[in-house]
Each structure stands twice: as C-alpha cells, then as structure tokens.
Structure 1
Amino acid sequence: MSAVRYLPNPSPKARKAALSTGCVLALLAANGPAATGFAERAWHQYAVNQPAYKAGYGHWDVVDVPARFRVNAIHAALLRTGKVLLIAGSGNDEKNFRAGTFRSVLWDPVRNTFKTVPTPKDMFCAGHAQLPDGRLLVAGGTARYEKLTGDVDRAGGAMLVKNENPDAPRAFPAGTVFTGSTGKRYRSQVPVLVPRAKKEVSEHGKGRKKKKKVRVTASQARVYVEAVTAGESGITHTADQYRIQGLRGKDGHDLYGLAAKLGLDKKDFQGLKDAYEFDPIAERYVPVDPMSEARWYPTLVTLEDGRVLAVSGLDDMGEIIPGKNEIYDPRTHRWSAGPNRYFPTYPALFLTGGGRLFYSGSNAGYGPADKGRAPGLWNVETNSFVPVPGLPRQDMTETSASVLLPPAQDRKVMLMGGGGVGESHESTPRTAIADLSVPSPRFAPGPDLPQGTRYLNAVLTPDDRVFTTGGSRDYRGKRGSDILRAQFYDPARRAFRTAAAPTVGRDYHTEALLLPDGRIAVFGSNPLFADKDDTRMGVFEQRIEVYTPPYLYRDRRPALPSAPREAERGGVVRLPGTDPRQKVTARLMRPSAVTHATDVEQRSIALTVGVRDGALTVTVPEDPSLVPAGWYMLFLTDRAGTPSRAAWVHVR
C-alpha cells in the first residue's frame, strides 16, 4: 500500500504553503496515471517534511546502514551503553544455519556506527532479559530448522536412551547409531548424556534372616534420531528396542534405546539449551550454565529478586514444552527448576504487585487454541494461577502486543490487536485493559485500533504515552496486508492519536524500541510474499527506520540531568545542574529487549520530584516488583510533554 493513503491531514498552514503544488498535480493528472502517481509522491514528500507537519505528527527517517552490517534482525535490545544489540543468528535462513553463519551487530544510534559481534550459537528465536548488572541474558535458540511433510527425506523422531548401570553415566556423541530388531538403523543428531541409574538398597527381615534388597531404576535421556537410509524404508510404526553401535557385553545389556513411531511426518523447529550473558562493556557473549530444557520461542522474564524465569518454547524434539520452567540466578550463573505451568510460546508475562506475574494472553506461534490462552495472575512461589476474566475470543490473542501502561504504578496492562492461531487470516482491531491494582481484576474494552492488526509493535514514551506502529492484517503480511500506519495511545484520555506514517512495511520478526534521545527505532520484517497476489517470495527487511516524535520538534527541551550512576530503591537522588524552578515530571524507563512483538522488559516508573540544595531531586520507589534492579533511563519531561535526553541510572 502507498504511504500516501495514510498521510494525516496536513495543517491549514501546510496546505496553503503547498497550494501551487496542488495546481501542478491537477495539470499532471491530465497526462496519465504515471504522472499523477509521481506527483502524489512528490506532494507527500513535500507535506511530511514541513515544520508544521513534523510538529504535529513526527517524522520518519531511514538509517544508512553499510551493506556489510545489514542483518535479518530477529531480536533487538537496548544496552546500558546506549547501543542497540541486533541478534540475527541464522536469521530465519536455513542456508546460514547449515553453514554455521550466525550474526549479531551492535548499532550506536548517536554516531550511527556499526560493529559485528562474533555469535557462538544460532540465537535465532531465543529469549532474553536485562540482568541487574546491565548484562543481557540470552537463552535458547535453534538446533534444527522446521521441515514440512513432503520435504522430510529421512524418518526420524525421539529416541529414549536408557542406562541400567548405577555406577557410571554415559555420553554418546552425535552420529551414534541405534539398530532395531528389524535391522533398521537410526543416527543421533546431537550428543546425549545419560545419567547413571538410580540404586536403592533396603533391608527386610530380622536378625539372621535380615536380607538386603537392591533395586536399580534405569535412567534415561532423550535424543533426536534420523534414519540412516533415506525414504519410506526408514519408517518404523511400532515400538522397538535398539542396540547401540559399539557396545558389547555388560555395556550392551545396560545401555539401549527405546522408540515408538519414527516417521516422515512434519518436523518442527528444535530448541537449544545454551545460554549466554552479553557483556555491554566488553561487547561479547560470555557462556554460562546451559538450561536443563532446550527452548525455541521462550519468554525470559525478570523476577522481583533479580533472577530470571524462562518459560515455554519448543524443546529438543520440536515439541512444545508441557510446563517445565526454570530460573536463572545471575549471582551464580546457574539454572534451577522453576514452577511447572504450561504456556504457549513467547507468552507475555509482566512482573506486577507482590512479585506475581501477569499473563496477558499475548503469545506467538505455537500451542493449541484451547490450552494456555486464559489470562491470569501467576504466583511463582506457590505456583497458583488466578484467571483474569473479561477477554472474549482468547483464541485471537496470538501475535498481539501487550504493554504495562505508563506509569507502572497504575498496574494496568493493555492488549492490542492480534489474530487467530497459527496461519489464520483473521486479525482483530480490539484492545483491552486489565487493572491489576483492584482486588478482583478483569479486562475491560479499550478503543479499537484503526484496523485489525497482527504483529503490532508498541513502545512506551517519556510523556506517558504508547507509540504503536506497523503490523499486518493477515498472517506474515500475506495478500499485501502490511499496515503503513502509526499512532499514539494516551492512557489518560483512553484514545489514539494519529502519527506520521512509516515508509517501510513491517510484520513478522519486527522489533521497535525507545532510544535514549527520545526517538524510536524499528527493525526487521519477514513477510512470506512480496506482492499482493502472493506469487513472489518475500525478502527479509534489513532497513532500520527511526521515528522522531512531535515532542522533539519543539523549541526547547529540559536539560540532560546529571544523575549519579547509582541509586537505591526507596532513596532520594539529587540531580546536580538542574533548575529547581522548572516544572517537570521524572520517569525511570527500563530498556527494551524485544522479539516477536513481545517486550516484557520495558516499563515506565513515575518518580516523585522535589528540591534540595538548589537542585531537583527524585525519589525512587521502594517496591522491587515495581522497580526490579538494573539499569534505567532517567527522563525529565516538561509541562508540554517534551522530554530531556536520558541519563543512565543503576538501581540496586
């Protein structure tokens, strides 16, 4: 669609200034559609670049990215250095996956410089969270690409490797061959470690008749296998026991494989167990303890004590994890078991009052329509889940956006847009708001979006608004359905206001985030097709587009606060160099880490403003469920809604 259709009405001043251009348009219209189209584009470019238009609607600019730094941005995270980490991994390109070509790029939006970062694993479709010390935790990713029925040339599936030896574990490398009773052979695709068997000794009887009884319970580990022989001859329809190549005698007896059906049906993506911390100062990935479960499409959410909960995802067999969640401790760099609860992939989970997590119902990609869709409040400590009612059509929350509305003290979460499960053509314009501050929260309808929208990106701004942009009406932009439209949501007025239209269509695999200077950057887009008839394959969008909001086109903005680098929860922070006479509000804004329209990191926290010793002060709330430890952007915003540049503050 042409951006011209979404051009907000220019001000009367802009229309008057462009009157002569309109006359030219009329003359050109007589010379044919091509001339008219050219003239319309010229008018559009003229109108959106007028000062009055920018002050009313903002402005979009495409960033000049050198060719060698262009990546298929699947993930975007703002670091405490002000740089943006763009993670592609294999970038949804199986050729890159097979070649082991995994990419990450650091972008400095101030200097507009780029740097390639060595990327050790395929972090495509991983999860991520900001850690208390400013590092970024990245966990999971891709171990195998999806294969559709008809493209699968070797039968495969899950093999349970059993160990009946209680004295020693056993490791098997990738490529280990398992042979069944019929002679069919299957080869493991990844290494597998099988723990030692469990040995229990008990005594029975009394006196001389007392006897010891030893009970051994076999351990097991699961590994994905594929047939050595291609085609239908590799299919096995019945359960069987498999010998492990190279084992003899007692080892051959104690160690073996078990599998049910191994077929040529569809094979979903498989996850990784690997986890890394990205160091924003050294600008490199540092390996940490791997997860116990492989995860692809997981959500990582920060808890009130600074630990991180990993939820959902596809496992090492390509199956959705039935509820095995785990917790990362950044002090020990290790994982432990978390509460067992099922969610669809990339569930939107927000830390809220009392340390509970609110599941809004937003999710992306995988999971049945009738399971795990109900929103609710989850107590991670007790593993209790209280549904939050009021949201109809819970099967329409896939690919929706959810945000913790500003300021975070209001404890309100808004769900926007979304669509049907899987590759559904359905989308919805609805929004809904849950007020979590009341004893019995429930969703209430909000104002509709201009049209049904999947993959909407939503970004909090320092003036207590939510900027939304992009998306598509159909699944992955099918039928030319990308939406070249943007708007601001004002929570105080419960209304949307039109913003300047972007020039680049964005749907699946798009990210947007707030920069420290108050602008908003948008990355990625992975449409299936490149035309309205869905006849030409789509190309991953590698352009970066930056939106400058109207508040940055005003004459003056508050001075950058000279904030200390450290702050305590519940403490008063003096801001040297500020004018105590200026009337401003103050917000701590947590930097984004976003993928698949899922950003559970961003939050905007209102600070109490005061005066001390000739300078402004701000008071940081004490509640760790409101202000989890970490690095924040501190913005001062004047009465007109114009923000300062951000100062980085480390809240302990």
Structure 2
Amino acid sequence: MNGGAVLLPYRSNRPWLSGRDRKRIAQVLVLVLLVLVAAAVPQGPAWAGANLIANPGLERVDVGGFPVCWEKSGWGDQSFTFGLTGPGHTGANAMQITLATSPNGDRKAMMLENPSCAPNVTPGHQYDLSVWYTTTTANTVMTMFRHDVAQGWVYWTDLATLAVTPAWTQKTVRTPQVPADTDQIAWGVTIYGVGTLKTDDYAMEDVTAPATGTACSAGDACVKGVWQVLPFNSPVRGLHTVVLKNGNVLLVAGSGNDPDAFAAGTFTTAVYQPTTGTFINVPTPADLFCAGHVQLPDGRVLIMGGNKAYPAADGSHGYEGLKDSYVFDPATNSYSRVNDMTAGSWYPSATVLGNGDVISLGGLGEDSSGTVATQYFSQAQQRWLGLGEAHQTWNFWGLYPSMILMQDGRLFYTGSHVFGNGLPGTGSSIYDYDANTITPVSGLQNKDQRDQSMSVLLPPAQDQKVITMGGGNIDSNPDANRLTDVIDLKQANPTYTAGPLLPTGTLTGGIPQTTHQGKMYVSAVLLPDGKVFETGGGLHNRADPVYEASMYDPATNTFTAGMAVDPVPRTYHSSAFLLPDGRVMAVGDNPGNGSFDMRLSVYSPPYLFKGARPQILGLSSAEWAYGSTRVVTVDGPILKAELIRPEAVTHSSDPNQRFVDLPMSVSGNTIGLNLTSNPNIAPPGWYMLFVVGTNGVPSVAQWVHVG
C-alpha cells in the first residue's frame, strides 16, 4: 500500500525544515500513516455496516496541523478563516469555517480526492452519508464528487441543505445509485453565506440490500411493456395536452386545425379524468389552436396566443397569431382572461423561470411575420409586461423554439423547433435574459433537419444534461433522421456531442426501415425510474408513421430497442406524457389529408410488471420549501425518490419537463427527502412525487407543491 506516501509531498515539504529534517520526518510519517490509513481506509469492495471514512473523527492531524485525509477547498473572494476548533462533537477536534464576507463562491470541508482517502464505492450501490454539525447560516449544503474512471474527479451533486442549529446535530443522507464507471466518491460540507460552520464525526455506510429475485411472469411485457388502446375516443382533437395538478389531463383543440370549425367559431376543450375514464367539456373562449402553455406556480395553466386567422385563399396572408392570453383553472375547469401579450403569438415557446415568471419567445405575429418580441409574464403582477418593461433582443427564435431553463437562470435554446429550417448560425444557443445576450452553442448535427425533433432535460435535472432526438424538414421533406445530440450544460463552454442513433422501426404495413431512416414528430417522456421513453413519429411531413419505441438510459447514454409499439399512428399533432400512476398516455395524429385520429393509447412500462409497487403511506407536508427536508413514510425499502414536473406538451415540445432528484435521509421506513435550494433546478409549482422500490418499481405519485 502506498497511501501514506501519497500525502507526504504535499504535507511534509515545508521550506522552514532542512533536507535532513524533512527526510527524518518523512520516514516517521511513512510508518505512522501507513498504519493509520491502512486501519481507516477500506481496501477492496465496501461492505455494509462499516464506516468507510478515513479519519472520521478528525483526531489524526498531519504536520501542517490539519486532519489527515481532509483538505481546505473552495473558491471565490470571501473573507474567511478555516481550521480546527475544539472540543468537537466527540473528541478534541472539529473543522470550522467562518465566512465574514461572501460576495461569491464557497468554502468546503472536504475529504482528499486521492486513492488513500476517498472511499471506494460500487456502481449501482447506495450509501448513507452522515455528519455532525453546527451552523449559523442556512447557506450550507452537503456536497459530493465522484471519480469517473474516464473523466477523473467530477462534481456529482449537492445532497441536502443543512438547517441552522447552534447545537450539534446529525444529518444523514442517502446517495443516489452510484453511476457506472465510478470507483470512489469524496464529500463534505460547503458553506456559501456569511456565518460559521463546524463539522465532526463523519460516517459512510453501504446500505445496498442484497439482490432479491425480480422474476417476471408477464412474458414480453417484462422487457417491452404493453400498450392498450382505450375503448373510447377523445371528444376533442387533443393538439395540446397538459397534466393538471389533480391528475386530470387538459386536452385543448381550439379549432383543431379545421378551417371550417374556425369559420363557425367552434372551439373545443375537454378535461380527461383517468381515474374514471370520463371527460368534461369546457367552454373555450378563443381559437387556442397552436397556442403556448405552461403551468403557473399555483397549478393553473397559462395559455398564450393561438390562431387569429388561417391562411387566406388568395395568399394575402398566412397564419396569424393571437395576442389573447388566458389562464385555465383546474379547480373550476374554466378559462379566465388575462391581459393581452405584447405581440401576436402562433406557435410560441413558454418557459417558467425560477421565480415563477414566464418567458415566451418566437411564433408568428398578427401580420403572419415572425414575432421578435421577448414576452414576459410577471407571476407577482399576474400580467404580461409591456414591451418597454421587458428586456428585448428583437431576435426571432422560430416556431415553438425549445427553451430549457438552466441552473444559473439562463435559457438554453436546444435547436428543436417546428416548420422548416433552423435559425442561422450553429442552430442552438444560450440566452441570458438579465444580460440580454445570446451565445451560440456548437455541435448540433444537421441543424436544418431538426424540425419536430424533441429535446428534454435528462434525469436528474441536477446533472444539467439535455438530449435532442430526431427531426426532419417539412420544406425539403427528406427522410427524417435518427440523430441524437447530448450536451452537458454545467461545462464552462457547453457544446453538443453526437449521441447514439435512434433505433430503426417499421413503416405502415410492416415495411422495415433502412439504416438511414429516422423520425420526426417524436415524443420523449421522462419516467420515474430515471429513463426516457421515446415513442411515435413519422418518416415524412404528416405522412408515413414509424412504429418504433425505445428506452434511453442517461446513465449509459444508450437506447434499448424493441419496446412495445403503440398500434395507433402518432405523427403530426400527437403527444405522449406521463400519468401519475407511472403509465404513459399518447394522443393525436393529424395526417396530410386533414383527418384526426381520436383514439387514446396508454403504455405500461416494463417496471409495472416486476413486482409490488411501493406505497407512500404518509407525507409530512404537501408544501415544500427550497432547501427543506420533507418526511415520507413508506412500506418497504426505497431505492430513490424524485419530483417530476407534469407535462404541458404539443408539437414535440415541452421545455419544462424535468426530473428532480431527492437525496434521502433514511431511518427504516421513514425517509427524509431533501429538496434542492436552487429554484432554477425545480421551478415553483406542483410536482408528482414518486418513490422507487429496490425492485425498480415506482409508486403511484403524490402531488406536492414546491415554492
């Protein structure tokens, strides 16, 4: 073992010692540290019940006066002190950090990222991490890094925000499953606000239960899942679908891409109730066909724009966008008017921000030209701001541009859009509303053939990775592509890299696709087990449906082909979305002949055939504040828990879809779930809370309110 020698050059090479003194000290330290570290650091696989932390009580101190296997870390321009204090929670020592000022950055009490000090871990396992602490500031979090065998040491996640406490308090948090290719983790406590933090008595234990049988007797459903076409049709053309905070589904048609209905003023909406299989018809105040929509923090749905006019027969104008805006209330199943937008919007984006405000970009205006205004809805004022009240770039973003909120509050335009070529330049960019800047992002493949592609923020949202899938071009109308692109938005200068190709499927009549074919109008749905279900789509504009579905795993960046296929074609004006019971529902298909398929399909993923579902037996509160811990009671061992934002999807676009990991503090069947302190990770609103059992099966969701 060479663990002690690793520490010597850093800790014992002091300029005030002679060469002879350094040699003697080194010889002694080699012997001492070899014994001490060998006793403290596990060699080989971790085992349950053992504390895997080296020097957990901070009692062994090196020649520099700091605990062996620990280091001072952080960045920024704070005025700070960092050292040992005593007595600790137990023993003589505790680590103490005091920030007198904190204009930026943070300071961390971290274990050393080296082979002798960082605990060894096993991919797929979970670990309970605990620390005793006191802190005078709520700006304190448990922070974790992992060692990737290819990338080296990388940030993993912030596990929990620590509450202010003057007395020694223990915090225990369960890690997510260790990703593949990870062999060690390092963790500690970060302080990023003015105050004093003390820590002591660290512990880490492998709590992975022994593998149990997961035999499945459901045949192909065990690996493919199964689709069911419901025995009734939708009463409206479901062009726009929103999963409401009560579990019902809002289906908005407006005129439903039917000029005759528009001329007659026949605009329709229905609310589908999955628990009863029934519908409620809702009076619809305007033609909300091809509007934008997003859930507000209180669970109501903001709907912006829509269709003011279909193209004129004489070619004098094309589609015209409405300025109208409405709020749909799930409590009353009714619309109410809010003030008009600053410009007409047909095919606008809609992205909720960390403060609950909404930004809408792109679309067509009242004169059929591209809308270049940045339109901003104030949550506090419940109105659209005027042009002069919102920052303006006067940039055209295209139709239904996919704008995903990043953890720092900026928006990532993924390159997914609708109708024709992408925007000039690289095809994707980062938009900073506050600074009023647009920064190109490179790497998106074949940017002018990503029409009706779909982009999603991958699970978990804390990883800040986005995948863009498929696409085509309705103007040149080539075969749609199988391309995927993945980007890590945590990087200083993020760029897309090519991902795995979408699997091939079959066309109408069972004709196999060739290797160069793909699909547009694709749907991608985040599932409670952390995977992405990809389904639906067509080979050409409003034609040639592709029968294929696959499962994408963000942890391995791979697709599993051969999932069960929806027997109903799902191309233009189709959507797929997650239901609170863990199933996926698909609606719509609008071929080039103007017809519309009113059938509804529901997909049961393979996890629903792999054993009993865990149950959430109790929930301490449905109101969740940022940085807080909420307690749930469950009926058995739990692998992970997360919040999934309910979808509001149309035209292969829902930029607000996200899966937020909830690090766990576990005590038997009582589990503390730790919510991020960053509202840009989990924008305020209603979420579906899922817990996932050790058999990989999710619970039925409970609804919780974040903000």
Normalising by structure 1, we get a TM-score of 0.70
1:491 is aligned to 2:491: no
Residue 534 of structure 2 contacts residue 551 of structure 2 at CA under 8 Å; is this kept in 1? yes
For residues 318 and 91 of structure 1, the distance between their equivalents in structure 2, rounded to whole angstroms, comes to 19
Residue 58 of structure 1 contacts residue 547 of structure 1 at CA under 8 Å; is this kept in 2? yes
For residues 509 and 129 of structure 1, the distance between their equivalents in structure 2, rounded to whole angstroms, comes to 18
Which consecutive aligned stretches of 4+ in structure 1 deviate over 3 angstroms post-superposition? none
Are the structure 2 counterparts of residues 389 and 327 from structure 1 closer, same or farther at C-alpha, using a change threshold of 3 Å? same
1:299 is aligned to 2:365: no
Which residue of the partner structure matches residue 142 of structure 1?
A: 307
Are the structure 2 counterparts of residues 552 and 415 from structure 1 closer, same or farther at C-alpha, using a change threshold of 3 Å? same
Cα offset, 1:372, TM superposition: 6.7
Once the two structures are overlaid, the 10-residue window that deviates more, 109-118 or 537-546, is: 537-546
For residues 316 and 602 of structure 2, the distance between their equivalents in structure 1, rounded to whole angstroms, comes to 39
Cα offset, 1:582, TM superposition: 0.9
Are the structure 2 counterparts of residues 51 and 266 from structure 1 closer, same or farther at C-alpha, using a change threshold of 3 Å? farther
What amino acid is aligned across from residue 365 of structure 1 in structure 2?
A: F
Which residue of the partner structure matches residue 414 of structure 2?
A: 360
Once the two structures are overlaid, the 10-residue window that deviates more, 447-456 or 409-418, is: 447-456
The structure richer in helix per residue is: 1
**Structure 1 gap segments, 5+ residues each:** 1-48, 153-264, 529-536
Q: Select the structure with the greater relative contact order (CA < 8 A; seq sep ≥ 6).
A: 1
Cα offset, 1:50, TM superposition: 8.4
5 Å-filtered alignment, 1:344-493, equals 344-365=398-419, 369=422, 371=424, 374-420=427-473, 422=475, 424-450=477-503, 451-477=517-543, 481-493=544-556
Residue 344 of structure 1 contacts residue 364 of structure 1 at CA under 8 Å; is this kept in 2? yes
Are the structure 2 counterparts of residues 130 and 370 from structure 1 closer, same or farther at C-alpha, using a change threshold of 3 Å? closer
- Show CA shifts across 1:372-404 (max 9, x none): 762121111111122111123211121111010
Are the structure 2 counterparts of residues 550 and 445 from structure 1 closer, same or farther at C-alpha, using a change threshold of 3 Å? same
Which residue of the partner structure matches residue 323 of structure 2?
A: 273
For residues 573 and 415 of structure 2, the distance between their equivalents in structure 1, rounded to whole angstroms, comes to 19
Cα offset, 1:422, TM superposition: 3.0
For residues 426 and 58 of structure 1, the distance between their equivalents in structure 2, rounded to whole angstroms, comes to 28
Which residue of the partner structure matches residue 679 of structure 2?
A: 624
Cα offset, 1:439, TM superposition: 1.0
For residues 456 and 688 of structure 2, the distance between their equivalents in structure 1, rounded to whole angstroms, comes to 18
What amino acid is aligned across from residue 447 of structure 1 in structure 2?
A: P
What amino acid is aligned across from residue 274 of structure 2 in structure 1?
A: P
Cα offset, 1:645, TM superposition: 0.4
For residues 135 and 282 of structure 1, the distance between their equivalents in structure 2, rounded to whole angstroms, comes to 10
- Show CA shifts across 1:225-250 (max 9, x none): xxxxxxxxxxxxxxxxxxxxxxxxxx
Matched positions, count? 472
Which residue of the partner structure matches residue 374 of structure 2?
A: 325
Residue 63 of structure 1 contacts residue 546 of structure 1 at CA under 8 Å; is this kept in 2? yes
For residues 505 and 590 of structure 1, the distance between their equivalents in structure 2, rounded to whole angstroms, comes to 26
1:111 is aligned to 2:276: yes
What amino acid is aligned across from residue 331 of structure 1 in structure 2?
A: A
For residues 526 and 592 of structure 1, the distance between their equivalents in structure 2, rounded to whole angstroms, comes to 21
5 Å-filtered alignment, 1:532-551, equals 537-551=593-607
5 Å-filtered alignment, 1:505-584, equals 505-528=569-592, 537-563=593-619, 564-575=621-632, 577-579=633-635, 582-584=637-639
SS of residue matched to 2:434: coil
Which residue of the partner structure matches residue 72 of structure 1?
A: 237
For residues 379 and 647 of structure 1, the distance between their equivalents in structure 2, rounded to whole angstroms, comes to 34
Which residue of the partner structure matches residue 225 of structure 1?
A: none
Residue 343 of structure 1 contacts residue 372 of structure 1 at CA under 8 Å; is this kept in 2? no
For residues 446 and 559 of structure 2, the distance between their equivalents in structure 1, rounded to whole angstroms, comes to 23
What amino acid is aligned across from residue 537 of structure 2 in structure 1?
A: G
- Show CA shifts across 1:61-100 (max 9, x none): 112325xx52111100000000000000000001100000
Residue 369 of structure 1 contacts residue 421 of structure 1 at CA under 8 Å; is this kept in 2? no
- Show CA shifts across 1:436-495 (max 9, x none): 111111111111012411010000000110001110011111xxx101111110111211
Cα offset, 1:312, TM superposition: 0.8
SS of residue matched to 2:417: coil
CA RMSD, Structure 1 to Structure 2 (Å) = 1.7
Residue 660 of structure 2 contacts residue 681 of structure 2 at CA under 8 Å; is this kept in 1? yes
For residues 336 and 594 of structure 2, the distance between their equivalents in structure 1, rounded to whole angstroms, comes to 34
SS of residue matched to 1:354: coil
Residue 474 of structure 2 contacts residue 540 of structure 2 at CA under 8 Å; is this kept in 1? no
SS of residue matched to 2:542: helix
What amino acid is aligned across from residue 649 of structure 2 in structure 1?
A: V
For residues 398 and 538 of structure 1, the distance between their equivalents in structure 2, rounded to whole angstroms, comes to 20
Residue 306 of structure 2 contacts residue 346 of structure 2 at CA under 8 Å; is this kept in 1? yes
Residue 574 of structure 1 contacts residue 612 of structure 1 at CA under 8 Å; is this kept in 2? no
Residue 70 of structure 1 contacts residue 543 of structure 1 at CA under 8 Å; is this kept in 2? no
Which residue of the partner structure matches residue 641 of structure 1?
A: 696
For residues 549 and 613 of structure 1, the distance between their equivalents in structure 2, rounded to whole angstroms, comes to 28
**Structure 2 gap segments, 5+ residues each:** 1-215, 504-516
Which residue of the partner structure matches residue 85 of structure 1?
A: 250
What amino acid is aligned across from residue 468 of structure 1 in structure 2?
A: E
What amino acid is aligned across from residue 474 of structure 1 in structure 2?
A: H
Which residue of the partner structure matches residue 76 of structure 2?
A: none
SS of residue matched to 2:263: helix
For residues 346 and 425 of structure 2, the distance between their equivalents in structure 1, rounded to whole angstroms, comes to 17
For residues 694 and 481 of structure 2, the distance between their equivalents in structure 1, rounded to whole angstroms, comes to 35
SS of residue matched to 1:295: coil
For residues 266 and 456 of structure 1, the distance between their equivalents in structure 2, rounded to whole angstroms, comes to 33
- Show CA shifts across 1:21-68 (max 9, x none): xxxxxxxxxxxxxxxxxxxxxxxxxxxx982111121111112325xx
SS of residue matched to 2:221: helix
- Show CA shifts across 1:390-442 (max 9, x none): 12321112111101011111100001000125352341101010111111111
For residues 539 and 291 of structure 1, the distance between their equivalents in structure 2, rounded to whole angstroms, comes to 32
What amino acid is aligned across from residue 506 of structure 1 in structure 2?
A: R
Which residue of the partner structure matches residue 334 of structure 1?
A: 383
- Show CA shifts across 1:153-180 (max 9, x none): xxxxxxxxxxxxxxxxxxxxxxxxxxxx
